[in-house]
Chains A and B, each alone.
Chain A
Amino acid sequence: MAIVFNQKPGLVVYLTAGDPSLEATRAIAIAAIDAGADVIELGVPFSDPLADGPVIQRAMERALAHAAGQHGVRLKDVLQLSAEIRAERPAAGLVIFSYLNPILRYGLTRFADDAAAAGVDGVLVTDMIVEEAGDYLAEMERVSLAPIFLAAPTSPDARLEAIATHSKGFVYAISRVGITGTQQSLTSDAASLVARIRRWSTLPVAVGFGISNSEHVAQVAQFADAAVVGSAIVELIECSTPEAAPGAVARFIKGLREPQAALAR
């Protein structure tokens, strides 16, 4: 249980926990790990997902919708799901991907304890800026969880240095300005951002936002250690039945590392 990228390029797979159900997410996560995902990011559904595009926003709305008398998916459900995935796949990297408010409401100390107990490796809080992260970093350190921060092409050097030095596990480089979601091609922003991050960190650098096919993954592999694929997989789940989703996601992930597919495109 650690964040290790054994293959080149490494693959980080984002899933919105509870879309379409917690049971389905568990099956999809295990299928994704078996298909070659090095790290699974489990997204905590949040009412105001400000870094995310329409695909992930819809997934979160589905996960938060609830039948009469039942809850939508909560942080404690995602921690329980993490423990279940950890029990079945001890070696996979497991990251909780959340917004700050559900964690504040849950209690930072309680969250750190419960995430560590669930066997999580790292935590990525999209709207936790490194300059305000003192308490958060102390809690992550106390329970030996890797705090992962987002680095943007617009981050100035001083902030990038703080992000690079306080991150553990990997540094998450955002490929471009804007929200999550697929795009046609990668801009040159990503490569120069990764080069800047490496000035201050020897950690693996993963590039995300807009990575949706094997062509993008091959491009990212030229300058970074791993690619993060989110919206493309969430959209695939949206278009699949819960029964078919694990197989569809596994095939998609295997295809992401096939350069032939990129050449034939």
Chain B
Amino acid sequence: MQGTFSYVLQDEDGQIALTHSVSAGLDYASIGPEHAALHDSGRAEYVSQDDAATLDAVVRLARTEGILPALESAHAVAEALRIVPTMAAHDILVVNLSGRGDKDMGILAHELKIQGA
């Protein structure tokens, strides 16, 4: 689709599915072919997080660390929050924050019902 061969959200007839994500950058029915190749080779494992967990992750990172992550990156923070309780105290977990949440302030204000911002 759109010039790449990759994983696509689609129905049994190959029609592309409609999508929704609170994060505009993830609101797309396919993934980049590089990710598809990393998945197929087993070099990366892919997981998902929903809107509610992602918004919660934004708020917790902002309040505890003063870092406002982009909504896309906040999905990774949400996954980190999920797996941290299973880890030992000396384990190290690295989260890659690929973008800033400044661009998402309008969405955050709307979704978190913040007024007077």
Question: Quick check: is B15 within 8 A (CB to CB) of the other chain?
Answer: yes
In the complex, the answer to whether A105 meets B3 with C-beta atoms within 8 Å is: no
Q: Does B40 contact A (CB under 8 A)?
A: no
Which partner residue on chain B sits nearest A98 by CB separation?
A: B14
Residue among B2, B5, B12, B13 making CB contact with A48, cutoff 8 Å: B2
**Contact yes or no, A46 B15, CB < 8 A:** yes
Across-interface contacts of A71 in B (CB, < 8 A): 13
Q: Is the CB of B12 within 8 A of A101?
A: no
**B21 interface residue per 8 A CB criterion:** no
Scoring B residues 1 to 39 as 1 if CB is less than 8 Å from chain A, else 0, what string do you get? 111010010101111100000000000000000000000
Min CB–CB distance A89 → chain B (angstroms): 27
List the B side residues contacting A46 at CB < 8 Å.
Answer: 14-15
Of the candidates A50, A74, A106, A132, the one whose C-beta lies within 8 Å of that of B2 is A50
Contact A74 B13 (CB under 8 A): yes
What's the nearest-Cβ distance from chain A to residue B48, in Å? 22
Q: Are A106 and B14 in contact (CB under 8 A)?
A: yes
Closest to B15 in A: A47
Pairwise interchain contact A101-B3, C-beta atoms closer than 8 A: no
Interface size class for chain B? 10 to 19
Choose one: A103, A129, A132; the contact of B14 (CB below 8 Å): A103
Q: Does B2 lie within 8 Å of A102, measured CB to CB?
A: no
**Cα-based distance from A132 to B33 in the complex (angstroms):** 15
Number of chain A residues whose Cβ lies closer than 8 Å to a Cβ of chain B: 19
A105, B1: Cβ atoms closer than 8 Å? no
Can you name the residue of chain A whose Cβ is closest to the Cβ of B12?
A105
Question: How far, in whole Å, are A129 and B5 apart by their CA atoms in the complex?
Answer: 12
Shortest distance from the beta carbon of A66 to any chain B beta carbon, whole Å: 11
Tell me whether A127 is interfacial, beta carbon within 8 Å. yes
Contact B2 A47, beta carbon cutoff 8 Å: no
The smallest beta-carbon distance between B2 and chain A, in angstroms, is 6
Q: Which of B1, B8, B16 has the most CB of A within 10 A?
A: B1
A171 is an interface residue with CB less than 8 A from chain B: no
Which A residues are in CB contact (< 8 Å) with B13?
71-72, 74-75, 102, 105-106
List A residues 45-104 near B (Cβ within 8 Å). 46-48, 50, 64, 71-72, 74-75, 100-104
A56 to B2 CA separation, bound complex (whole angstroms): 18
Top-8 shortest CB links A-B: A105-B14, A102-B14, A47-B15, A47-B16, A101-B14, A74-B13, A48-B16, A101-B1
Given A46-B15, A105-B10, A127-B1, output 20 extra A-B contacts at Cβ < 8 Å.
A46-B14, A47-B15, A47-B16, A48-B1, A48-B2, A48-B16, A72-B13, A72-B15, A74-B13, A75-B13, A101-B1, A101-B10, A101-B16, A102-B14, A103-B14, A105-B12, A105-B13, A127-B2, A127-B3, A129-B3
13 pairs, CB–CB < 8 Å, chain A vs chain B: A48-B2, A71-B13, A72-B13, A72-B15, A75-B13, A101-B8, A101-B16, A102-B13, A102-B15, A105-B10, A105-B14, A106-B14, A132-B5
Tell me the A residues contacting B by CB distance below 8 Å.
46-48, 50, 64, 71-72, 74-75, 100-106, 127, 129, 132
